[in-house]
Structure 1
Amino acid sequence: MNGNELNVSRRRFVAGAAGAALAAGLAGCSPATNNSDNGESLPNSAPEKTAYDMNEGEWIPTTCNMCFNNCSIKAHVVDGVVVELAGNPDSSIGRGHICGKGAAGIMQLYDPNRITKPMKRTNPRKGFDEDPGWEEISWDEAYELVDSNVKAAIERSGPHAVTGMSMVASQIGSLVRHTALGVIYGNAEGSCSDICGTGVHQLEYLLTGTGNARPDYANCNYVLQFGTNAGTATRHGYNMTVETFAERRANGLRHVVVDPHMGGSGEKADLWVPIRPGTDAALALAIAYVLVHEEGTIDIDFLKNRTNSPSLVNVETGRILFDEATGKSLYMDADGTPKTYDTCADPQLEGEFEVNGTPCKTGFTLYKEHIAKYTPEYQEQITTVPADTVRQIAKELGASACIGQTTTIDGVELPYRPAAVDAFSGITRHKHTWLTCQAVFTLNNLIGSTNAVGGFCGFDPICNGWTDDNPNMSWSLGIWEPEGLIDNNQLLLAFPNSYYTKVYESDYTPTTMGMMEIQPLSEDNHFEHVAQAHPDLYHTQAAEVAFCYACNPIKWWGNYDEQAEIFKNYTYVIGIDMYLNESSYFYDVILPECHYLERTEPLPHAANNHRVIGGMDNPWTVPVWQKVVEPRDGAPSSWELFGELASRAGKNAEFISTLNMMFRVKEEYSVPLDQKLDVEAFADSILKSNIDEEHDFAWLKEHAVYDHPRTVDEVYIWAGEKPGRVPMYFDFVLEAKAKVEAKAAELNIPWETDDYQPLPDWKPGCGYEVTDPDYDIIPTYHTDAINTDSWLMEDPYINEINEENPYGYTIEINAATAASKGLANGDKVRLVTTDGVAVEGVLATSEGVHAECIAVIGGHWGSKSAYMPIAKDKGVPIVHLIPGQTPDRMDHICSAFDQTIRVKIEKVA
Structure 2
Amino acid sequence: MPEVVLSRRGFLKTCSLTTLMLAFPAITPSIEAQPIIEKAKLYRWGRKIPSTCIYCAGGCGVLSTVVDDAIIEIEGDPDHPINEGALCSKAAAYIQLVNNDRRLLTPMKRTNPRKGVDEDPGWVPITWEEAFKIIAEKVKSALENFPYKHTDKDGVTHYYRVGKDSPVGWLGSAYFNNEECYLIKKGCSILGTLNVEHQARKCHASTVVALANTFGFGAMTNHIVDAKNSKVFLIMSNVAESHVLEFRWVNRARERGAKIIVLDPRYHRSASKADIYVRYRSGAEAAIFLGLIRYLLYEKLERVDWRFVEDRTNMPYDLDGNRLDDWRTNPNSIFSKLKEMVAKYTPEEVERISGIAKDQFIEVAETFTSLKPGNIYYAMGTTQHTNAVQAIRAQAILQLLLGNMGVPGGGVNALRGISNVQGSTDMNVLSHVIMGYRVPPRNIDDVRRYQKWKNTKPNERGGVDGGKTYPWKDISEAEAQGKADTFRWDDRMFPTWNALEYHWGIYVGTWPGIDPDNEPVICDLPLGTGNAIVQLFRAVRDGKIKALFIFGENPVVSMPNANLVKEALSREGLFTVVCDLFETETAHFAD
TM bucket, shorter chain: 0.5 to 0.7
- Structure 1 distance, partners of 2:488, 2:543, is 27
Structure 1 pair 247–59 and aligned structure 2 pair: CA distance change class (3 A): farther
- Structure 1 distance, partners of 2:425, 2:40, is 47
Alignment partner of 2:586: what SS? helix
- Structure 1 distance, partners of 2:438, 2:306, is 27
Segment drifting more, 153-162 vs 361-370:
153-162
- Structure 2 distance, partners of 1:419, 1:118, is 50
Aligned with 1:367 (options 338, 342, 345):
338
Matches within 5 A, 1:881-896: none
- Tell me whether 1:254 sits opposite 2:189 in the alignment: no
- Tell me whether 1:574 sits opposite 2:577 in the alignment: yes
- Structure 2 distance, partners of 1:103, 1:280, is 34
Structure-2-length-normalised TM-score:
0.67
- Tell me whether 1:225 sits opposite 2:243 in the alignment: no
* Contact 2:552 2:580 survives alignment (8 Å): yes
- Structure 1 distance, partners of 2:548, 2:356, is 45
Structure 1 pair 490–577 and aligned structure 2 pair: CA distance change class (3 A): closer
Alignment partner of 1:195: what SS? helix
* Contact 1:64 1:102 survives alignment (8 Å): no
Q: Which amino acid aligns with 2:231?
A: N
* Contact 2:234 2:262 survives alignment (8 Å): yes
Structure 2 unpaired stretches of 5+: 1-31, 148-160, 415-423, 429-433, 440-483, 494-525
Task: Quote the offset at 1:149 in angstroms.
Answer: 0.6
- Tell me whether 1:302 sits opposite 2:308 in the alignment: yes
* Contact 1:68 1:168 survives alignment (8 Å): no
Equivalent residues, number: 444
- Tell me whether 1:455 sits opposite 2:410 in the alignment: yes
Alignment match, 1:203: 210
- Structure 2 distance, partners of 1:75, 1:535, is 40
Alignment partner of 1:385: what SS? coil
Matches within 5 A, 1:22-33: none
* Contact 2:551 2:579 survives alignment (8 Å): yes
Alignment partner of 1:74: what SS? strand
Q: What whole-Å deviation, never above 9, does each CA across 1:817-842 have from its counterpart, x for those lacking one?
A: xxxxxxxxxxxxxxxxxxxxxxxxxx
- Structure 1 distance, partners of 2:103, 2:486, is 44
- Structure 1 distance, partners of 2:427, 2:284, is 31
- Structure 1 distance, partners of 2:266, 2:527, is 33
Structure 1 pair 186–535 and aligned structure 2 pair: CA distance change class (3 A): closer
- Structure 2 distance, partners of 1:110, 1:99, is 19
Task: Quote the offset at 1:498 in angstroms.
Answer: 7.4
Structure 1 pair 572–219 and aligned structure 2 pair: CA distance change class (3 A): same
Alignment match, 1:435: 390
Structure 1 pair 496–528 and aligned structure 2 pair: CA distance change class (3 A): closer
Q: Which amino acid aligns with 1:443?
A: L
Q: What whole-Å deviation, never above 9, does each CA across 1:538-573 have from its counterpart, x for those lacking one?
A: xx9932211111111222221211211121236110
Alignment match, 1:424: 379
Aligned with 1:400 (options 371, 384, 406):
371
* Contact 2:66 2:72 survives alignment (8 Å): yes
Alignment match, 2:113: 124
Alignment partner of 1:168: what SS? coil
* Contact 2:195 2:532 survives alignment (8 Å): no
Alignment match, 2:361: 390
Identity %: 24
Alignment match, 2:586: 583
Q: Which amino acid aligns with 1:441?
A: A
Alignment match, 2:545: 543
- The structure with more helix, counted as a fraction of residues: 2
- Tell me whether 1:350 sits opposite 2:352 in the alignment: no
- Structure 2 distance, partners of 1:566, 1:279, is 34
Alignment partner of 1:505: what SS? helix
- Structure 1 distance, partners of 2:270, 2:209, is 24
Structure 1 pair 167–308 and aligned structure 2 pair: CA distance change class (3 A): same
- Tell me whether 1:505 sits opposite 2:513 in the alignment: no
Structure 1 pair 295–67 and aligned structure 2 pair: CA distance change class (3 A): same
Q: What whole-Å deviation, never above 9, does each CA across 1:30-81 have from its counterpart, x for those lacking one?
A: xxxxxxxxxxxx9899xx9996337643241221443254532222233443
Matches within 5 A, 1:445-484: 445-456=400-411
- Tell me whether 1:280 sits opposite 2:290 in the alignment: no
Structure 1 pair 556–442 and aligned structure 2 pair: CA distance change class (3 A): same
Task: Quote the offset at 1:209 in angstroms.
Answer: 4.0
Q: What whole-Å deviation, never above 9, does each CA across 1:161-201 have from its counterpart, x for those lacking one?
A: 11111131224334333333445x45443335451212222
- Structure 2 distance, partners of 1:79, 1:260, is 50
* Contact 1:225 1:423 survives alignment (8 Å): yes
Alignment match, 2:535: 530
Task: Quote the offset at 1:490 in angstroms.
Answer: 7.7
Alignment partner of 1:373: what SS? coil
Structure 1 pair 81–192 and aligned structure 2 pair: CA distance change class (3 A): closer
Structure 1 pair 52–531 and aligned structure 2 pair: CA distance change class (3 A): closer
Q: Which amino acid aligns with 1:169?
A: Y
Q: Which amino acid aligns with 1:587?
A: A
- Structure 1 distance, partners of 2:233, 2:262, is 8
The root-mean-square deviation of aligned C-alpha atoms, in Å, is: 3.5
* Contact 2:396 2:412 survives alignment (8 Å): no
- Tell me whether 1:84 sits opposite 2:73 in the alignment: yes
Structure-1-length-normalised TM-score:
0.45
Structure number with greater Rg is 2
- Structure 2 distance, partners of 1:254, 1:282, is 23
- Structure 1 distance, partners of 2:256, 2:574, is 60
